[in-house]
A = this chain, B = another copy of it.
Amino acid sequence: MTRACEPGGPVGRASIKDIAQAAGVSHSTVSRALNDSTLVNESTRERIKALALEMGYIPNAVARSLKAQRSGTVGLVVTSLTDPFFADVMAGVDEIAGRAGLSMFVAASHNDPDREMEVIETFHRRRVDGVIVAASRLSNRYRERLERIHVPIVVVNQHTEENPEFHAVALDEVGGARLAVGHLLEVGHRRIGYLGLGNRQRSNRLRLGGYRDVLRRADLVPDPAWALIVPESEIGEQDDTEIGESRLPDLLEAGVTAVFCYNDRVAVGALQTCRAHGIAVPGELSLVGFDDIDVARWVDPPLTTVRQPRAEMGRTAMSVMLDLLEERPGHDCMLAPELVVRASTAPPRR
């Protein structure tokens, strides 16, 4: 009665009620027929299915979600949509979610904890079945608001060291740093620097730890000036690359022959400075990055770096989420990085 939706008529949004009317049965029967319930006669099922196809019926997932108390969606929060790191994580999540028939909400937090919390709350309003947060900056300040959210949360590469109650997928940061510094050591360097970023709390601390660890085991006493952690207050709105560009000279002055950079962007910045100052890489200075972003492969010289299994991290996070959704126990997960040797590292000149 509401809208004309005859079998041959104008194709509008047809509901199971419309189909029921056209078939001369109740909407319950239609519902059962379309869901292949055994509680419906085979011939009527065929008839209803044919009718549904003819009328262009497309089930309403919203209504289904309301009834089922499960939406078949997950929310993904990333700090930036344009950062290739998160793009790969996103792709990994999408792959597994798509395979499981789940749809994915995405939103950016722009590295702002308040905004991050708002996005999570929006997702919760939409009744997503789970939330995956990449590089979360949520601190204990948000505990109260988080407790109102009754949704499983999985965190990828958490930036803070709080909220341990989340399930976490993380990279073995210490191991990654060991690979990088170990490689430099093996090649022959002894005066190795570290250029770190203070606004990356957790990962920076761990990478610094790995750096020190390797040097200590090699019975080297690193000059404190070799490890430069740019404090958060001095970073401000600056891009990582700019940091690398502007801060490399400090380390050069300290007399290092190789620098392990917090990430590839920092390393690329450092590389720019070398090019500008006529410092040969790797002839006079070796550089190692972290992440293996696309750019690392195409700069000159191509960058030696530590590859994070980014897509794998997304896939793993989503797999853990699926476990949680199926009421199976969730678990934490630590993934192994991989050293990618390219052309930005070589033995020291002497």
Given A84-B84, A103-B107, A147-B11; A58-B94 close (CB under 8 Å): no
User: Which A residues, 266 to 286, have Cβ-Cβ distances below 8 Å to chain B?
Assistant: 268, 272, 275
Cβ contact of A106, chosen from B66, B106, B150, cutoff 8 A: B106
Contact A126 B103 (CB under 8 A): yes
Contact B90 A81 (CB under 8 A): yes
What residues on B are CB-neighbors of A80 within 8 Å? 91
How distant is A193 from chain B, measured CB to nearest CB, in Å? 22
User: Which A residues, 79 to 116, have Cβ-Cβ distances below 8 Å to chain B?
Assistant: 80-84, 87-88, 90-91, 94, 98, 103-108
> Is the CB of A148 closer than 8 A to any CB of chain B?
yes
Contact B107 A122 (CB under 8 A): no
Residue of B at shortest CB range from A269?
A: B298
How distant is A153 from chain B, measured CB to nearest CB, in Å? 15
Contact B127 A60 (CB under 8 A): yes
> Is the CB of A63 closer than 8 A to any CB of chain B?
yes
| A80 CA to B150 CA, complexed, in Å | 32
Contact A91 B81 (CB under 8 A): yes
| A272 CA to B302 CA, complexed, in Å | 11
Given A124-B58, A126-B61; A104-B106 close (CB under 8 Å): yes
| A65 CA to B84 CA, complexed, in Å | 33
Residue of B at shortest CB range from A93?
A: B81
Residue of B at shortest CB range from A13?
A: B150
Residue of B at shortest CB range from A64?
A: B125
| A315 CA to B238 CA, complexed, in Å | 24
> Is the CB of A50 closer than 8 A to any CB of chain B?
no
> Is the CB of A221 closer than 8 A to any CB of chain B?
no
User: Which A residues, 183 to 211, have Cβ-Cβ distances below 8 Å to chain B?
Assistant: none
What residues on B are CB-neighbors of A59 within 8 Å? 125
| A83 CA to B124 CA, complexed, in Å | 29
> Is the CB of A62 closer than 8 A to any CB of chain B?
yes
What residues on B are CB-neighbors of A108 within 8 Å? 91, 94
Cβ contact of A66, chosen from B63, B104, B124, cutoff 8 A: B63
> Is the CB of A240 closer than 8 A to any CB of chain B?
no
> Is the CB of A255 closer than 8 A to any CB of chain B?
no
Contact A148 B81 (CB under 8 A): no
| A184 CA to B63 CA, complexed, in Å | 58
Cβ contact of A295, chosen from B12, B121, B294, cutoff 8 A: B294
| A91 CA to B106 CA, complexed, in Å | 10
> Is the CB of A36 closer than 8 A to any CB of chain B?
no
Contact A125 B66 (CB under 8 A): no
> Is the CB of A234 closer than 8 A to any CB of chain B?
no
> Is the CB of A71 closer than 8 A to any CB of chain B?
yes
> Is the CB of A162 closer than 8 A to any CB of chain B?
no
> Is the CB of A56 closer than 8 A to any CB of chain B?
yes
What residues on B are CB-neighbors of A87 within 8 Å? 81-84, 87
Cβ contact of A62, chosen from B83, B98, B107, B127, cutoff 8 A: B127
How distant is A92 from chain B, measured CB to nearest CB, in Å? 9
> Is the CB of A299 closer than 8 A to any CB of chain B?
yes
| A148 CA to B150 CA, complexed, in Å | 36
Kindly list 7 other residue pairs between chains A and B, CB separation below 8 angstroms, not including A82-B88, A103-B123, A105-B105.
A62-B62, A62-B127, A73-B126, A81-B94, A87-B87, A104-B107, A106-B106
Top 3 A-B residue pairs of the complex, sorted by shortest distance between their CB atoms:
A300-B300, A81-B91, A56-B148
